């Protein structure tokens, strides 16, 4: 009975667990298949933004899904007394002399470095290609680079992403920069121990920042200068002026990567001109996934089997108590058996008592009937009869008296009475049947053979 109840409880728990698992499994699986470094391990990012007459920096960190901007820096070139060319943008030497100090100051040695270059240096084009080009998009874009931009694929650092596609065409956003221009900055930074892992564009960082704040993929940016404008309009936090939006956006491009469940949703989807369209597919971290799955399975099994273990423990305790009390149970069974036997004997005695006169009653009756001058020397009571011997003044006179009793019938002399001359009385032996007698035979004797002394 207890086992059946435990199995029923276990079946109910398993059913509820399967229903719950079916509901939470899809989001749980998405969590388990995220890149381990994108979910578990802390990450640091430093974005260096080349701006007109200034170098802007943003340093941020991420732990689990929380992104935090730890520091912002902006170094105007005029205030430092540095002459710049290329329409006021800092030269590679100026950048290489500034950045190592900032990296040391911010303790960002192990941070991923993003270099964000001005939009004016790059070519941004929207390209429409047949849908068949998607099968070898990298090769097609490399082959078509000299037609789509002023330089060939060997002369450019570029990246692209798909904006839209249908059954016939695919629309691609292409971003490219002349390789020799970017490499001057990259090589000098590398010589200072600063290795750039991402080459982006200011406009891309601004778009990422807007998407993160406004949660809107369609944003317009406008950056107004004395004689020109470019980019997008972005309203920053109130009370903050001259924030390096492009640098902040560059940090987000690195930290807010695809697949990270940031509370605001979405992903950065930024560009990296160093990749030339080659993007490694994010691999599922099998080790961490297997570990997480094993932990979940272990927890689920514990949750499922715990009721059964509890029931088994309770049943074991009950069995132990039963084993301890087996001796008491046997004693109880013996006592019960004895009680039943005693009750049967009592019942038999009561039945016997009710079914026939008792010897004591017969003796009382004889004492009442016999006259004072008569006495008995012997009395024998069987199941159905009674025999008495003794002396009386008249033996025949006793017959009528005994016959009149409710206990006796068929009263007669067992042997002829004779006169005892010495005592002057008749010696008699009378036999009679007992009314209502059935089973019991009782012999009442005196001391030994039941001989009653004279004078009884």
Q: What is the pLDDT of residues 382-418, one digit of tens each?
A: 878 889 999 988 888 888 888 888 888 888 988 888 8
Higher pLDDT, 441 or 379: 379
Look at residue 161 in the predicted model and tell me its pLDDT.
85
Average pLDDT score over residue span 211-224: 60
Residue pair 127/154 in contact by the 8 Å Cβ criterion: no
- Pinpoint the alpha helices (H) of 268-325: 286-324
Look at residue 274 in the predicted model and tell me its pLDDT.
79
Quickly state the pLDDT bin for 9 (edges 50, 70, 90): low
CA 87/CA 366 separation, integer angstroms: 155
Quickly state the pLDDT bin for 199 (edges 50, 70, 90): very high
Residue 201 reports pLDDT greater than 80:
yes
Residue 433 reports pLDDT greater than 80:
yes
Quickly state the pLDDT bin for 84 (edges 50, 70, 90): very low
Quickly state the pLDDT bin for 453 (edges 50, 70, 90): very low
Higher pLDDT, 397 or 451: 397
Look at residue 148 in the predicted model and tell me its pLDDT.
87
Residue 117 reports pLDDT greater than 60:
yes
Q: How many helices (H) and strands (E) does the chain have?
A: 11, 14
Quickly state the pLDDT bin for 221 (edges 50, 70, 90): low
Average pLDDT score over residue span 101-122: 88
Q: Which residues, at least 6 apart from 57, have a Cβ–Cβ distance to it below 8 Å?
A: 46, 47, 48, 49, 71, 72, 73, 74, 75, 99, 102, 244, 247
Strands (E) across 64-150 are located at 66-76, 112-117, 122-130
Higher pLDDT, 249 or 313: 313
Residue 80 reports pLDDT greater than 50:
no
Residue 244 reports pLDDT greater than 80:
no
Look at residue 181 in the predicted model and tell me its pLDDT.
92
CB atoms within 10 A of CB 387: 14
Alpha carbon distances (Å) from 357 to 92, 368, 371, 432, 444: 138, 16, 22, 14, 14
- Pinpoint the alpha helices (H) of 82-136: 92-106
Prediction pTM value: 0.52
């Amino acid at each position: 009975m207890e086992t059946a109840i435990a199995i029923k409880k276990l079946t109910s728990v398993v059913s509820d667990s399967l229903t719950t698992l079916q509901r939470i499994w899809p989001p749980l699986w998405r969590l388990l298949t995220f890149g381990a470094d994108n979910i578990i391990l802390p990450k640091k990012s430093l974005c260096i933004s080349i701006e007109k007459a200034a170098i802007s920096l943003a340093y941020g960190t991420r732990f689990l899904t929380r992104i935090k901007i730890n520091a912002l820096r902006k170094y105007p070139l005029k205030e430092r007394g540095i002459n710049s060319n290329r329409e006021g943008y800092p030269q590679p030497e100026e950048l290489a002399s500034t950045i190592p100090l900032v990296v040391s100051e911010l303790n960002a040695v192990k941070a991923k470095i993003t270099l964000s270059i001005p939009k004016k240096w790059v070519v941004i084009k929207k390209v429409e290609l047949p849908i068949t080009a998607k099968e070898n998009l990298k090769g097609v874009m490399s082959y078509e680079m000299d037609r789509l931009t002023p330089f060939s694929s060997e002369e450019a650092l570029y990246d692209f992403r798909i904006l839209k596609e249908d059954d016939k065409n695919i629309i691609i956003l292409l971003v490219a920069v002349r390789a020799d221009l970017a490499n001057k900055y990259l090589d000098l930074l590398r010589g200072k121990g600063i290795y750039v892992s991402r080459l982006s564009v200011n406009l891309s960082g601004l778009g990422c920042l807007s998407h993160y704040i406004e949660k809107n993929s369609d944003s317009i940016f406008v950056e107004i200068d004395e004689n020109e404008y470019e980019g997008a309009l972005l309203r920053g936090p109130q009370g903050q002026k001259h924030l390096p939006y492009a640098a902040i956006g560059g940090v987000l491009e690195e930290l807010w990567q695809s697949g990270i469940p940031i509370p605001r949703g979405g992903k950065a989807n930024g560009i990296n001109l160093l990749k030339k369209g080659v993007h490694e597919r994010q691999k599922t971290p099998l080790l961490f996934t297997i570990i997480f799955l094993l932990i979940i399975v272990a927890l689920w099994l514990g949750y499922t089997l715990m009721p059964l273990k509890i029931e088994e423990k309770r049943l074991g305790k009950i069995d132990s108590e039963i084993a301890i009390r087996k001796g008491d149970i046997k004693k109880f069974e013996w006592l019960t058996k004895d009680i039943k036997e005693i009750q049967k004997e009592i019942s038999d005695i009561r039945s016997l008592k009710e079914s026939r006169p008792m010897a004591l009653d017969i003796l009382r009756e004889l004492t009442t009937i016999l006259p004072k001058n008569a006495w008995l020397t012997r009395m024998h009571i069987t199941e159905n009869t009674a025999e008495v011997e003794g002396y009386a003044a008249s033996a025949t006179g006793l017959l009528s008296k005994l016959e009149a009793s409710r206990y006796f019938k068929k009263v007669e002399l067992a042997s002829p009475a004779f006169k005892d001359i010495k005592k002057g009385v008749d010696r008699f032996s009378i036999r009679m049947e007992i009314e209502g007698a059935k089973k019991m035979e009782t012999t009442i004797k005196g001391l030994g053979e039941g001989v009653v002394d004279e004078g009884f």
